[in-house]
Amino acid sequence: MTQEAFKPAESPDAAPRRQLIGLSRDELGRELAALGEAPARASLRAKQLWHWLYHKGADDFDSMTTLAKELRVRLSKHCSIARPEIVREQRSKDGTRKWLLRFADGCEVEVVYIPEDDRGALCISSQVGCTLTCSFCHTGTQRLVRDLTAGEIIAQLLVARDRLGEWPRATEGRLITNIVVMGMGEPLLNFPNVAAALKLAMDKEGIGISRRRITLSTSGIVPMIERCGRELGVNLAVSLHAVNDELRDQLVPINKKYPIAELIEACRRYPGAHNARRITFEYVMLKGLNDAPDDARALARLLRGLPAKINLIPFNSWPGAPFECSARARIAAFADLLNAEGYTATVREPRGRDILAACGQLKSASERTRAHRRPPTATGAEAPP
Ligand code: SAH
Ligand code: SF4
């Protein structure tokens, strides 16, 4: 895993400072050994340092009073725990908050906090942009794409906790109780870094968000699904959006590689999925394309026998989007049909629309150019340019 500095920090002797955020305890131990700590002491110091980073939320070495002054000086000289820069902070009238973060190389990601009555979810990004170009998704129109490091992924949670004043609060009364990996990017195409970051978030001695409160959303990277369940055991959400390959090929082009039947089969084998912990199938409601009563019935048939629930997402528009959202009544009728078939189908309340924080609206301010693409039409054929 590559680890980069979030800020172009340089140590006094001009070597770039090593970014420590995102490292496991063992990796921290190795860094401390490289700084000259005796091996026997390095692992204890690593534990202390880790506690400062992920329990207390320290953002400078000087405050780490359980470490010897001389070690703190060495750490400040050669290492960094700087957060990414907060370029912009926005607050929606519904309480949703959005931060635009900038990393060392100028790449930016958005992080969204969504408060609800009894809990709050932080929506984090796994990549800058996304390679997968789903035709209804704003992120997919961004040309600039790279994986985020584990440090850059966990830093999104650290910044949000800084801004919400959550350090060192344990679990009681917290604002961020859940994590959804539903921001920019396809998490299963950057799995090692996503996994390392989520393991840090789950660690009981630090932030301690249980895997049951973490949901990872994938467009359907079939070969990685089983590993995700085995290694992380988090809740799985699958961006289905269509019930036949012809339409799904157009909406979610990765379907050409991993078609619906293979995706459903991988879901059947997802470790840890059962009736008390169902897989969420996300289904974006696109007017005239996938919102007919017959589509709802076909969806019920497709998911038969799976521990599944369905989340209908009203399409969130963005400038130049080639789709329209289905009418409210049409969405409600779709949900009713699924409920009558015995499924739990909920309609996702769009949050933070006024600050473009809703699903699929995230996109770095640095990258507003829209890639040229032809929208699919209601008949499934390509629209004329
Ligand atoms: N890449 C992952 C996770 C990020 S997208 C995935 O595709 O699952 C999170 C969810 O928002 C996905 O279900 C995605 O299909 C949906 N989404 C994307 N653009 C949207 C839009 N404009 N309106 C509504 N939902 C959208
Ligand atoms: Fe990528 Fe998900 Fe957007 Fe598709 S919906 S382009 S997979 S972020």
Instruction: List, for residues 77-122, the tens digit of each pLDDT value.
Output: 999 999 999 999 999 999 999 999 999 899 999 999 999 988 999 9
Q: Is 228 a catalytic residue?
A: no
- Rounded to an integer, the average pLDDT of 337-347 is 97
- Out of 131, 215, 241, 282, mutate this one to test ligand 1's pocket (max ligand atoms within 8 Å of CB): namely 282
Written as one string, the DSSP assignment of 66-113 is TS-HHHHHHHHHHEE-PPPEEEEEEE-TTS-EEEEEE-TTS-EEEEEE
Written as one string, the DSSP assignment of 6-17 is SS--B-TTSSBP
Written as six digits, the tokens of 357 are: 């924080």
Whether residue 168 is preceded by a cis peptide bond, meaning omega within 30 degrees of 0, is yes
pTM (two decimals): 0.91
Domain limits for position 347: 85-373
Centroid of ligand 2 to alpha carbon of 361 (angstroms): 11
pLDDT at 11 over 60: no
Per the CB < 8 A criterion, the answer to whether 330 and 308 are in contact is: no
Q: What is the pLDDT of residue 357?
A: 64
Which one of the listed residues 130, 134, 228, 359 is annotated catalytic? 359
309 — pLDDT class (breaks 50, 70, 90): very high
Q: Which residue's alpha carbon is nearest to atom 4 within ligand 1?
A: 182
Give the tens place of pLDDT for each residue, 39-59.
889 999 999 999 999 999 999
Q: Are residues 308 and 333 in the same domain?
A: yes
pLDDT at 286 over 90: yes
Written as six digits, the tokens of 91 are: 């607050």
Residue 110 to residues 124, 159, 182, 288, 361, Cα–Cα distance (Å)? 8, 11, 11, 31, 10
Q: Are residues 41 and 134 in the same domain?
A: no
Burial 170-179 (b: 16+ CB within 10 A, else e): eeeebbbbbb
Q: Are residues 112 and 233 in the same domain?
A: yes
Q: Are residues 161 and 12 in the same domain?
A: no
Which residues have any ligand 2 atom within 6 Å of their CB?
A: 130, 132-134, 137, 139-140, 185-186, 219, 239
Give the tens place of pLDDT for each residue, 233-268.
999 999 999 999 999 999 999 999 999 999 999 999
Q: Are residues 182 and 94 in the same domain?
A: yes
Q: Is 110 a catalytic residue?
A: yes
Q: Are residues 75 and 108 in the same domain?
A: no
Out of 59, 80, 101, a domain closes at 80
Q: Are residues 103 and 192 in the same domain?
A: yes
- Ligand that lies nearest to the alpha carbon of residue 128, given by its number in the listed order: 2
Centroid of ligand 1 to alpha carbon of 360 (angstroms): 5
Q: Are residues 65 and 93 in the same domain?
A: no
Q: How far apart are the first and last CA of the chain?
A: 42
How confident is the prediction for the chain on average, in pLDDT?
88
Instruction: Give me the residue label for tokens 């709802």.
Output: 296
Out of 45, 80, 115, a domain closes at 80
- For residue 297, what is the domain's CATH number? 3.20.20.70
Per the CB < 8 A criterion, the answer to whether 61 and 50 are in contact is: no
Centroid of ligand 2 to alpha carbon of 239 (angstroms): 9
Is there an atom of ligand 1 within 6 Å of 180 CB? no
pLDDT at 209 over 70: yes
For residue 215, which phi and psi values (nearest 5 degrees)? Answer: -125, 130
Relative to the CA of 138, which ligand 2 atom is closest?
3
Out of 80, 98, 116, a domain closes at 80
Which one of the listed residues 31, 37, 108, 110 is annotated catalytic? 110
Q: What is the pLDDT of residue 351?
A: 77
Q: What is the pLDDT of residue 317?
A: 86
Among 10-14, 40-44, 63-67, 283-287, the minimum mean pLDDT is found in 10-14
Per the CB < 8 A criterion, the answer to whether 81 and 58 are in contact is: yes
Q: What is the pLDDT of residue 3?
A: 47
- Out of 110, 112, 126, 130, mutate this one to test ligand 2's pocket (max ligand atoms within 8 Å of CB): namely 130
Q: Say how many domains are in the chain.
A: 2
Cα atoms in the Cβ-side hemisphere of radius 13 Å centred on 93: 2
Q: Are residues 32 and 131 in the same domain?
A: no
Among 219-228, 239-248, 343-352, the minimum mean pLDDT is found in 343-352
- For residue 52, what is the domain's CATH number? 1.10.150.530
- Rounded to an integer, the average pLDDT of 323-328 is 96
